């Protein structure tokens, strides 16, 4: 028993001695010889055998260099030029009809194909309505559980689920947002628009929030403008964190019938936040769009695909193929 106690005391004494040496080293670095630069303790770990304590002290400058190195490794793992070429192959002869923007959110490297080409957004333009509504909630101008009235002037299309609601009936704003984003209901959009003060006032308020270049009349935007909006949503630039998380959750719960574009190219159980748009265009085809934030295994990214005068099946396949390709790179 005496030998065991002696051994235990020696182990404890050894641990205290090792810790004392670390503290003396810290004292020497920070007190006796104050540095000309800030220092950061990167790692201190004590091994269970008490024979060694690893204390690694690096200047903040060196620590930042390590972070920059990790960022560079993330850049180097993706051949962005080759990815762009592969996307162009998928678009093939229809490339002039498309605006495509990709942003790697780990380093903000981007790929752009006709980023400033004016396209018809379709229901992608409903996202600003959700942002503005939640901003008004933050400003105590609206509450999610308060009601808005459905009036005859609000009815947009007979295909809308809210079209069948009785005139004069009430709908909670939270439910309205779900119809707006999840079901892409146009009547939900016009109810909000009329309560915002009409079309022109709504566009003015979008611009005041920093949502630029996405308008309903004229109904136009560019892939770059949509990508910038999605990036600002990801970064929480428009809303406080609770409301921003709620917006992303809405965009992540869109009706599965709209999962035939970017979402169709993602592995099962991949987290995403997206909004589609579909509208007939003057050339006899359709705009068949999608704008998504994808939460990938190695990096989150934004992918925006806008087009015009396309046939639905072909546009759907191209969007799915591009989405699958991009995800495979990440």
Write down the pLDDT at residue 282.
77
Task: Give just the sign of the alpha carbon dihedral 293, 295, 301, 304.
Answer: negative
Block residue for tokens 């970064």: 235
> If you average pLDDT over residues 262-272, what whole number do you get?
97
pTM, full prediction: 0.78
- C-alpha span between 147 and 174 (Å, rounded): 9
Per-residue pLDDT tens for 88-100? 999 999 999 999 9
Give the CA count within 13 Å in the CB-facing half-sphere of 28. Answer: 7
Which segment of 2-11, 126-135, 150-159, 284-293 scores lowest on mean pLDDT?
2-11
DSSP 8-state class, residue 164: G
How high does pLDDT run on average in the chain? 85
Element (H, E) at 321: helix 312-329
pLDDT in tens, 177-233: 999 999 999 999 999 999 999 999 999 999 999 999 999 889 999 999 999 999 999
Each domain of the chain, given as residue ranges in start order, spans: 2-61, 78-329
Instruction: Output the CA–CA distances (angstroms, integers) from residue 44 to 4, 37, 47, 51, 326, in the order listed.
Output: 29, 20, 10, 14, 39
The DSSP secondary structure of 52-99, one letter per residue, reads -EEEEEEEHHHHHHHHHHHHHHHHHTS-HHHHHHHHHHHHGGGGGG-E
H/E element, 325: helix 312-329
pLDDT band at 10 (very low <50, low <70, confident <90, very high): low
pLDDT value at residue 59: 45
CATH number corresponding to 78-329: 3.40.710.10
pLDDT for position 281: 82
* Distance (Å, whole) CA 76 – CA 71: 9
Contact predicate 307/276, CB 8 Å: no
Q: What is the mean pLDDT of residues 123-134?
A: 98
């Amino acid at each position: 028993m005496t030998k065991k106690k002696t051994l235990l005391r020696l182990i404890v004494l050894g641990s205290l001695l090792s810790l004392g040496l670390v503290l003396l080293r810290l004292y020497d670095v920070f007190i006796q010889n104050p540095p000309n630069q800030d220092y950061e303790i990167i790692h201190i770990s004590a091994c269970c055998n008490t024979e060694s304590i690893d204390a690694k002290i690096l200047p903040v400058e060196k620590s930042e260099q390590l972070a920059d190195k990790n960022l560079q490794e993330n850049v180097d793992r993706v051949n962005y030029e080759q990815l762009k070429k592969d996307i162009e192959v998928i678009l093939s002869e229809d490339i002039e009809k498309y605006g495509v923007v990709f942003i790697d959110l780990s380093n903000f490297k981007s790929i752009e194909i006709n980023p400033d080409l004016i396209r018809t957004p379709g229901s992608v333009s409903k996202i600003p309505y959700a942002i503005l509504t939640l901003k008004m909630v933050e400003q105590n101008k609206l509450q999610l559980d308060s009601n808005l009235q459905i009036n005859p002037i609000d009815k947009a299309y007979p295909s809308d689920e809210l079209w069948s609601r009785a005139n004069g009936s009430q709908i909670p704003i939270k439910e309205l947002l779900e119809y707006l984003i999840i079901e892409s209901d146009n009547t939900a959009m016009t109810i909000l628009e009329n309560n915002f003060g009409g079309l022109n006032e709504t566009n003015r308020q979008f611009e005041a929030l920093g949502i630029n270049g996405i308008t309903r009349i004229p109904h136009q935007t560019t892939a770059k403008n949509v990508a910038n909006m999605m990036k600002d949503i990801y970064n929480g630039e428009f809303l406080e964190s609770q409301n921003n998380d709620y917006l992303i959750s809405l965009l992540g719960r869109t009706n599965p019938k709209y999962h035939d574009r970017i979402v169709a190219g993602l592995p099962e159980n991949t987290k995403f936040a997206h909004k589609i748009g579909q509208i007939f265009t003057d050339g006899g085809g359709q705009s068949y769009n999608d704008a998504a934030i994808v939460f990938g295994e190695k990096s989150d990214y934004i992918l925006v695909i806008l087009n015009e005068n396309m046939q639905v099946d072909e546009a759907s396949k191209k969007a799915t193929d591009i989405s699958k390709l991009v995800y495979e790179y990440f």
